[in-house]
Amino acid sequence: MNTSSESAGAEAPKAQSFAALRHPGCRTYLIGTMLAMMADNIEHVISYWIIFQKFHSPALGGFAVISHWAPFLFFSVYAGALADRFDPRRVIQVAMGLFILASAGWGMLFLTDSLEQWHAVVLLVIHGFAGVLWSPAAQLIIHDIVGRTHLQSAIRMMSTARQLGLLMGPAIGGGILLVFGPAWGILFNCLIYLPLTLWLINAPYGVRNRDSAASQRRRGISGYADMVETIRLIAGNKVIVSMTLLAGVASLIIGNAHQAQMPEFAHDLGHAHAGLHYTVLLTGGAAGALAAGIILESRNLLAPSPRTAFVLVMLWAIAIGIFATTSNYTVAVAAIVAAGFLNLAYGSMNQTLVQLNAPEHIRGRVIGLYNMSAHGLRTFSGVTVGFGGSLIGVHWSLALSAMLLLALTVGMVSFTSWARAEKDVA
């Protein structure tokens, strides 16, 4: 590697804010991603409401969470292999097609008043597979659009776009539900996936600058054998291994399980009824993440570094611990906003480090492995926070989970050779 030439090329963009937005294709892609994420959440708003109204089934509600994250656990590497072997534009389009199929299915069943529980299970599974198929290809094409130089900016902006979609989804979904009703509302939602889907037809990205494209097409996709092979190939790269483990530990112990417990936190803070105070708590994390994307990009802060990523996770655990233990509403809001800020900061940094260090010919598989750790392990975070909360109370379960994450992160730092890790980054 010619480090001197790369260093020279990397100096200029350090002073640029929102560097990724200088790429016209990236701007369009981020808008399409934001709309797709918004549509994803609009579907959740409408379908979860109908499921509750029709079945009043906590088990089905629990399955909705499992069906969303379990595919990431079992099929992320497979999805990454698909993005390696095939044009990621087409993989994303297939994922958008599955999202549209799910929304259309809900709409037709609502219109005919024929929804049964097994229908709901099937549609939730389709939606979950759409998500896992979308994720590695969405990250891989970012690398094709902006290259290495502006990769962190692009990943941070993509995370920001997704958070904007998360913020807008519930509000717009509620409005669509009121104006159109559940059936026509969720059918209208199909249209929101189209801008990204149609733009990708002729977008000049996807296979650019991939010297190994031909060999990847010849290579078959072997499922879990790919996962084992990918782990073997990256085992010596301390940056990828440490960032993947860090994301996995945070996902397993806390993840986003506290979001499902937000009604109880709101009740204990004196705001049990749905309204502005509850909404602020519910959306505080997304608002903090959105602020992180804007602030960090506008000032071009936090260059990717493994050590910094670990510090950010420690601070995130502390913020979650404060939220869990405080009895003051203002402090709770500040803590959950800070947690959202730190979550985006460390998450985008982790992804950047993994992509920068991943071998080109298996980049999709490496991203898939990272997604399996960062997202798939959220399937079990309900055990530490949810089931633990049923035994000792949700405040203590979340606080102890935060303390455990903090202790494990400190331990991981202590036993990591950062001199070699930083050398790998360079």
Which of 177, 192, 221 corresponds to the end of one domain?
Answer: 221
In this predicted structure, what is the pLDDT of residue 58?
Answer: 64
Domain co-membership, 217 together with 235:
no
Domain co-membership, 252 together with 134:
no
Of the candidate ranges 1-10, 62-71, 140-149, 279-288, the one whose mean pLDDT is the lowest: 1-10
Of the candidate ranges 336-345, 380-389, 390-399, the one whose mean pLDDT is the lowest: 380-389
In this predicted structure, what is the pLDDT of residue 208?
Answer: 47
79, amino acid identity: A
13 belongs to a structural domain: no
Residue 359 makes CB contacts below 8 A (sequence gap 6+) with 233, 234, 366
Domain co-membership, 159 together with 201:
yes
Give the pLDDT band (50/70/90) at residue 321: very high
pLDDT for residue 287 is more than 70: yes
In this predicted structure, what is the pLDDT of residue 216?
Answer: 46
Give the pLDDT band (50/70/90) at residue 1: very low
Could you read off the pLDDT of 355-383 as tens digits, one per residue?
889 888 888 889 999 999 988 888 777 66
Domain co-membership, 203 together with 261:
no
pLDDT for residue 209 is more than 50: no
Domain of residue 412: give its range: 229-426
pLDDT for residue 194 is more than 90: yes
Q: What is the mean pLDDT of residues 294-323?
A: 92
Residue where the block lists tokens 């990769």: 151
Domain co-membership, 192 together with 278:
no
Which of 198, 221, 244 corresponds to the end of one domain?
Answer: 221
2 belongs to a structural domain: no
Terminal Cα distance for the chain, rounded: 10
Domain co-membership, 95 together with 187:
yes
Which of 178, 195, 221 corresponds to the end of one domain?
Answer: 221
DSSP calls for 341-379: HHHHHHHHHHHHHHHHHS-GGGHHHHHHHHHHHHTGGGG
| H or E element that contains 265 | helix 262-268
Domain co-membership, 132 together with 241:
no
Could you tell me if 243 and 354 are in contact, meaning their C-beta atoms sit under 8 angstroms apart?
yes
In this predicted structure, what is the pLDDT of residue 275?
Answer: 63
In this predicted structure, what is the pLDDT of residue 150?
Answer: 86
Helices 151-189, 276-299: axis angle to 10 degrees equals: 150
Nearest CA to 331 among 275, 269, 288?
269
Q: Is the Cα torsion angle 379, 223, 143, 14 positive or negative in sign?
A: positive
Give the pLDDT band (50/70/90) at residue 213: very low
pLDDT for residue 211 is more than 60: no
DSSP calls for 41-102: HHHHHHHHHHHHHHH--HHHHHHHHHHHHHHHHHHHHHHHHHHHHS-HHHHHHHHHHHHHHH
CATH of the domain at 385: 1.20.1250.20
213 belongs to a structural domain: yes
Domain co-membership, 147 together with 175:
yes
Among 59-68, 213-222, 240-249, name the most confident range.
240-249
Domain co-membership, 67 together with 121:
yes
pLDDT for residue 424 is more than 60: no
Dihedral pair phi/psi, residue 272, rounded to 5°: -75, -25
In this predicted structure, what is the pLDDT of residue 381?
Answer: 72
11 belongs to a structural domain: no
Give the pLDDT band (50/70/90) at residue 53: confident
Distance between CA atoms of residues 277 and 332, nearest Å: 11
Residue where the block lists tokens 């000792």: 392
Tell me if the pTM is above 0.85. Answer: no
Q: What is the mean pLDDT of residues 323-341?
A: 94
Q: What is the mean pLDDT of residues 58-63?
A: 70
DSSP calls for 23-55: SHHHHHHHHHHHHHHHHHHHHHHHHHHHHHHHH
Tell me how far CA of residue 125 lies from CA of 103, 114, 119, 239, in angstroms.
12, 19, 10, 33
321 belongs to a structural domain: yes
Could you read off the pLDDT of 63-74 as tens digits, one per residue?
777 788 889 988
Distance between CA atoms of residues 339 and 9, nearest Å: 34
Could you read off the pLDDT of 4-28 as tens digits, one per residue?
333 333 333 444 778 888 888 899 9
In this predicted structure, what is the pLDDT of residue 175?
Answer: 84
Distance between CA atoms of residues 128 and 71, nearest Å: 6
338, amino acid identity: A
Domain co-membership, 412 together with 266:
yes
In this predicted structure, what is the pLDDT of residue 126?
Answer: 96
In this predicted structure, what is the pLDDT of residue 320?
Answer: 95
Residue 17 makes CB contacts below 8 A (sequence gap 6+) with 297, 298, 299, 300
Number of domains into which the chain is organized:
2
Domain co-membership, 159 together with 275:
no
357: burial class by Cβ within 10 Å (0-12, 13-18, 19+)? Answer: buried
Taking all residues of the chain, what is their mean pLDDT, rounded to a whole number?
83
